[in-house]
């Protein structure tokens, strides 16, 4: 078990308790038809080392019971749900969540998991294959950006002049994008259809690799001074 999985389990144990029932109209960031009773039935973790990152997948199985009125319809008012609602038929729902940390990254404390996180729990789906595919695609992008780190740091001090919208761009080319109130130089690291993934860093925090996915109309090229 990596220290990242160790720390993640410790961090999440404060609010992920098995069989602790609560009432909510939300699940996985989406509004449900009405209020429900929910409790966590199962929570397991797995991890693998992928391109220098520890990729951690959490499988969560939830029991979700709708709260219904006398006509058998969902209730969207919390007070009525609590005082007058009756339980419907429970349903088991399984979610897969992904986190990733670059192996060997340190800060003041190894338990500062949120700072170390790359994915920060943004990869969530009800299929294991979908979550893993999306998570690895994000790590692939991180790997491409990391290969350009020294160049990005050097470009971060460039200033745009004589700007124009490019007719086209190629992977590896320099492009200026608007970020943090100014035009910043970056490198095209990938394409997605007609959109370009431009990596960049800011001088005040060159360790944090950033990117934007933009169309040509939102990108500028020009002489730098």
- Each residue's pLDDT tens digit, 111-150: 455 555 677 656 889 999 999 999 999 999 999 999 999 9
Q: Are residues 141 and 162 in the same domain?
A: no
For the chain, the domain total comes to 2
Q: Which pLDDT belongs to residue 196?
A: 97
Q: Can you tell me the mean pLDDT for 191-208?
A: 92
101 plus 114 within the same structural domain:
yes
CB 65 within 8 A of CB 87: yes
Query: Which of 94, 126, 145 is the last residue in one of the domains?
Result: 145
- Span 191-200, mean pLDDT? 95
Residues 123 and 206 in one domain: no
Q: Can you give the CATH number for the domain in which 154 is found?
A: 2.30.30
Residues 139 and 169 in one domain: no
Q: Residue 119, CB half-sphere, CA atoms under 13 Å: how many?
A: 27
Structural domain ending residue among the three candidates 145, 167, 200: 145
Q: Which three-class secondary structure state does DSSP give residue 89?
A: coil
pTM over 0.75: yes
The whole-number pLDDT of residue 106 equals 58
* Residues of the domain holding 156: 148-224
One domain, residues 65 and 138: yes
């Amino acid at each position: 078990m990596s220290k990242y999985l160790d720390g993640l389990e410790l961090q999440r144990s404060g609010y992920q308790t098995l069989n602790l029932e609560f009432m909510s109209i939300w699940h996985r960031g989406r509004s449900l038809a009405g209020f429900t009773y929910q409790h966590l039935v199962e929570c397991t973790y797995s991890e693998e080392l992928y391109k220098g990152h520890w990729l951690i997948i959490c499988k969560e199985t939830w029991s979700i019971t709708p709260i219904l009125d006398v006509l058998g319809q969902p209730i969207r008012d919390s007070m009525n749900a609590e005082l007058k609602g009756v339980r419907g038929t429970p349903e088991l729902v399984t979610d897969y969540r992904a986190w990733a940390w670059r192996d060997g990254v340190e800060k003041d404390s190894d338990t500062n998991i949120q700072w170390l996180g790359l994915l920060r729990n943004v990869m969530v789906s009800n299929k294991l294959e979908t979550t893993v595919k999306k998570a690895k695609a994000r790590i692939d992008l991180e790997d491409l950006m990391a290969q350009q780190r020294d160049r990005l740091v050097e470009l971060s001090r460039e200033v745009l002049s004589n700007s124009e919208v490019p007719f086209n761009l190629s992977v590896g080319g320099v492009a200026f994008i608007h970020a943090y109130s100014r035009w910043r130089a970056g490198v095209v690291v990938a394409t997605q259809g007609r959109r370009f993934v431009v990596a960049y860093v800011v001088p005040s925090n060159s360790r944090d690799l950033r990117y934007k996915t933009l169309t040509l109309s939102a990108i500028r090229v020009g002489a730098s001074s």
